[in-house]
Amino acid sequence: MRVLTILLCLTFCACAGSETGEFDLNVAEDLPIMVVSEEYFSYESDVIPIGEHIDGPANVRDEEGGELIFELYDNAVVQIADDKGDWVRISTHYWLEGEDYQSEVIKANTILYDQNKNAFGKVLVECMIYLTQKSETEGYAYIEGYTHQDNIRQESLIENDLVRFVTEKGREQDVFKSFIQKYKMRSEKSHLDYDGVYIYENWITDPSPGYRINLLFKAGELKGVFHSRDLHIANTKTYDLGRMNFRVSFFYDYPEEEQQKYVDYMSDWLQSVD
């Protein structure tokens, strides 16, 4: 796996628009696998492409209402922090090769491309680049800044997409195949006897992240959802797990004693994690 590179701006970075098409809420049902295994997991294919989408073009600034530093095109993929105000901190990754990768700066008016040579934005001010391994000849660089909440397609947040999915498809485990594949989710069975399927919180929020969403299945049905951000699924009760913003929401028809058992267990487990 290639090493992540970090872009540091002379003034902290910002972005706007690209014509990459509309955000697709749906994924084909005839997918060959249900989860991404550790063996085939890669940062480039399973982290960078997964995120929120820009409703653009969108300006990105060095601070809320600050200097314009880059722009992102429509439907560009970003990772957003869990900010509650009018502005939100975002990050994105762009691909560099050869001399550009070895350079210490990215020049104003540089077009941002992904690994497949698709343009998704443009840098507007000269920025310094920090490379973690200068012997590498290609790799991703990381940039971040602030944009207005209106520039984020709200339907592209996994929490909102999950609410829509459950409302339309129901809770049977088999119907979640497309949702799980869409977000490159991974499976785990480390917490009690649930079949957990999860996605981590993004890098801009926590470089050493915990779960953002963990779907809790038992007996072939979704019983609850562990989540780090606001999630409002109908007919659920939400419990605070006592650390950071971690919560779990269980469906009312799931026995309350089973709900409480998980809450007690997970609250203790979270306190023991560094």
Write the pLDDT tens digit of every residue in 70-109: 999 999 999 999 888 999 999 888 888 877 777 778 889 9
Report the candidate in 76, 43, 40, 80 with the shortest Cα–Cα distance to residue 201.
Answer: 80
Tokens of 92: 């994105």
Where do runs of H (alpha helix) occur along 94-157? 98-102
- In angstroms, how far is CA 99 from the centroid of its own chain? 30
| Complete edge-to-edge strand list for the sheet that includes strand 236-240 | 186-188, 195-200, 211-218, 221-227, 247-251, 236-240
Q: Please, are residues 96 and 5 in contact by the beta-carbon 8 Å criterion? A: yes
In angstroms, the CA 251 to CA 245 distance is 20
Tokens of 58: 């969108």
Q: What percent of the chain has pLDDT over 70?
A: 78
Report the candidate in 230, 252, 207, 243 with the shortest Cα–Cα distance to residue 84.
Answer: 230
Q: Is 91 helix (H, G, I), strand (E, B) or coil?
A: strand
Domain ranges of the chain: 6-153, 157-272
| Max avg pLDDT among 14-18, 19-23, 228-232 | 228-232
Q: Are strands 211-218 and 221-227 parallel, antiparallel or unpaired?
A: antiparallel
Strands of 132-252 (E only): list them: 138-148, 186-188, 195-200, 211-218, 221-227, 236-240, 247-251
Single-letter code of the amino acid located at 96: L
Residue 52 has pLDDT above 60, yes or no: yes
In angstroms, the CA 51 to CA 89 distance is 13
In angstroms, the CA 155 to CA 52 distance is 9
pTM: 0.81
pLDDT digits (tens, 9 = 90+) for 107-118: 899 999 988 889
- Average pLDDT of the chain is 82
Lowest mean pLDDT among 11-20, 57-66, 126-135: 11-20
What local confidence, expressed as pLDDT, does residue 45 receive? Answer: 62
Residue 60 has pLDDT above 70, yes or no: yes
Could you count the other beta carbons within 10 Å of the beta carbon of residue 119? 16
Close Cβ partners of 260 (under 8 Å, ≥ 6 residues apart): none
Close Cβ partners of 268 (under 8 Å, ≥ 6 residues apart): none
Report the candidate in 172, 271, 270 with the shortest Cα–Cα distance to residue 226.
Answer: 270
